[in-house]
Structure 1
Amino acid sequence: MSEGKDMSFFGHIGELRGHLIRSIIAIVIASFAVGYNINWIMDHVFFGPTRNDFPTFKIVNHFSRMLLGSDSIELPKEFPVRVQRLYQQFNVMIAVSIFGGLVIAFPFIVWELWRFIGPALHPNERKNSIFIINSVWILFVMGVMCGYFLILPFAVNFGVIFKISDIIIPLYDLSDYTALFLQVVIGMGVVFLFPILIYFLTIVGILNPKFMKKYRRHAVVLIMVVAAIITPADVLSMIMAALPLLILYEVSIIMCHYTFKKLQKREAGLQV
């Protein structure tokens, strides 16, 4: 939107199109950068959680040696990955490149969104919107990091060590691992935006802190369901995913309480 101008509906659409085009260009450029370095990214980032020298495993084993005297997590030295289709590696490269480009360009995308809606806001609303816009990309990146460093390693560990027979020789499918990777990492990135959703629902009057406190137990059940959807079947990964979501819910209650009181003061000032 252009500040100080009354634009028609199609003018707004044209302005929005410009922001969307720039956002798409940013994703494409970032995706090409990821694709150009795909070999290094696959070896060191994508398959990082399958190796014993992954930071999460090193930290867990460090404390395990202090408390138990031995490592509690030890993955096999090899993680054999197979491909069954001719273009499977190419498809995975495209998926990883687009995902990596989206994560890298996400702050720019959010900034473009703020540039579109910012001029239409009042000065006070604009100050608050800067905080919200920054919170969006920060929470998303935090969710991605939480999924990558906290949940994915334990999900991989469970899938590797679980055996029903020593006769079975493990050969892991590339597409299955890719699906697990994206499911956990993207899922946590999206779910971490929950406080932003609560903020807007409070603004429009749908939620209030009393409601959120009253139905806290129901929210815990829902959080466990969401954690089960994001993670594989093992209980440990589900618990690891549910813990940050429970903390986010408590943070959302605080945010809802603060926003609700602020709205009440504003309404009281208008009535006077």
Structure 2
Amino acid sequence: MDTPETTIVEKTNPSSQISTPNNAKEMGVLDHLEELRWHIIRAVLAILVFTVVAFVGKDIVFGKIILGPSKINFLTYQFFCKMSSITCIDTLPFIIQNRVMTGQFTMHIAASIAFGFICAFPYVFWELWRFVAPALYQDEKQTARGATFFVSLLFAIGIFFGYFLISPLSINFLSNYQVDPTILNEIDISSYVTTVTMLTLGCGLMFQLPIVVFFLSQVGIVTPEIMKAYRKHSIVVILFISALITPPDVISQCLIGIPIWVLYEMSILISASIQRKRNATLAKMENTNAVS
């Protein structure tokens, strides 16, 4: 039978009405580090598996995928040509070459690792999420349900956006740009692979903005008022980041900047929704305490 003191504490203590984490067992710091180590090991192994697959299948990974935007029969170029003769891209005046003895082998390994990371990204995030999720309260888990799916979906959209739109348009601009007609564009393989990787992977990571805002809003670091107050500043930051991961042409910067700005506006709505739910929960708790 509860004592009056216990009853009063349970009614007046808001934390008694909030769900607790599911992991009932107490774990020390070393136990957490050991668990994190195995999550990281499994994530790295997944990346290595896809890296080996990419390394072995170089005819497809390099010949069809990585070198795809450098060929005039690429899907994006064909689509632009079908749209109109004005938008048609029918020439790419550059060649890809290797000037270093170990250049092709080094870029083969580097590109395979990047390809492996992109393919294994959903599983890598899932492993990290499995480590973090047990520390969350039950209501937080319900709110963040489907996090792996939405993170993977936004990452995939960003990857496709960067590969099929930003990369070919940037390559077309850079290959046709000449300060003098006598200067030929003979692109080193390392420069080409780095450019395609940065554009593609950069878009995939930049498209995670709504997820980042979602979790920051959950812990109260970001609010819709803050995001609205810094909207003008965010446009400058978005243009700056777009300039870093794209070639120095306005078209490419706008093509990546506009979707990120749209994601920023969507993030404001997400943050506002989370704030409304938090305020409703607090109001419900206050009413419950008042009645008690």
> Could you tell me the TM-score, scaled by structure 1's length?
0.92
Q: 1:119-170: CA deviations, max 9, x gaps?
A: 3333332232232232222212221111111101110000111122222222
In the alignment, residue 234 of structure 1 is paired with which amino acid?
A: D
Matched residue, 2:191? 176
Matched residue, 1:150? 165
Give yes or no for the alignment of 1:40 onto 2:41.
no
Give the alignment of 1:93-132 within 5 angstroms.
93-132=108-147
Give yes or no for the alignment of 1:163 onto 2:183.
no
Q: 1:205-232: CA deviations, max 9, x gaps?
A: 2221122223222211111111111101
In the alignment, residue 199 of structure 2 is paired with which amino acid?
A: V
- Structure 2 unaligned segments of length 5 or more: list them: 1-20, 288-292
- Give 1:6 shift: 1.7
In the alignment, residue 6 of structure 1 is paired with which amino acid?
A: E
SS class of match (1:251):
helix
Question: Could you tell me whether the CA contact under 8 Å between 1:118 and 1:129 is conserved in 2?
Answer: no
Matched residue, 1:15? 35
Q: Give the Cα–Cα distance (whole angstroms) in 2 for the partners of residues 7 and 86 of structure 1.
A: 52
Question: Could you tell me whether the CA contact under 8 Å between 2:162 and 2:203 is conserved in 1?
Answer: yes
SS class of match (1:205):
coil
Would you say how many aligned residue pairs link Structure 1 and Structure 2? 267
In the alignment, residue 179 of structure 2 is paired with which amino acid?
A: I
Q: 1:160-195: CA deviations, max 9, x gaps?
A: 111222222221111111121121112111111111
Question: Could you tell me whether the CA contact under 8 Å between 1:19 and 1:116 is conserved in 2?
Answer: yes
Matched residue, 2:218? 203
Matched residue, 1:73? 89
Which one of 220, 239, 244 corresponds to residue 229 of structure 1? 244
Matched residue, 1:243? 258
Question: Could you tell me whether the CA contact under 8 Å between 1:75 and 1:160 is conserved in 2?
Answer: no
- Give 1:2 shift: 9.1
Q: Give the Cα–Cα distance (whole angstroms) in 1 for the partners of residues 185 and 34 of structure 2.
A: 54
Give yes or no for the alignment of 1:136 onto 2:156.
no
SS class of match (1:172):
strand
Q: Give the Cα–Cα distance (whole angstroms) in 2 for the partners of residues 211 and 7 of structure 1.
A: 37
Change (3 A) 1:238 1:8: same
Matched residue, 1:188? 203
Question: Could you tell me whether the CA contact under 8 Å between 2:118 and 2:201 is conserved in 1?
Answer: no
- The structure with the largest alpha-carbon Rg is 2
In the alignment, residue 235 of structure 1 is paired with which amino acid?
A: V
- Give 1:31 shift: 0.4
- Structure 1 unaligned segments of length 5 or more: list them: none
SS class of match (2:178):
coil
**Identity in percent:** 33
In the alignment, residue 256 of structure 2 is paired with which amino acid?
A: A
Q: Give the Cα–Cα distance (whole angstroms) in 1 for the partners of residues 66 and 280 of structure 2.
A: 49
SS class of match (1:130):
coil
Change (3 A) 1:91 1:33: same
Matched residue, 1:50? 70
In the alignment, residue 130 of structure 1 is paired with which amino acid?
A: R
Q: Give the Cα–Cα distance (whole angstroms) in 2 for the partners of residues 119 and 149 of structure 1.
A: 38
Question: Could you tell me whether the CA contact under 8 Å between 2:22 and 2:138 is conserved in 1?
Answer: no
Displacement over 3 Å in runs of 4+: 1-4
Matched residue, 1:266? 281
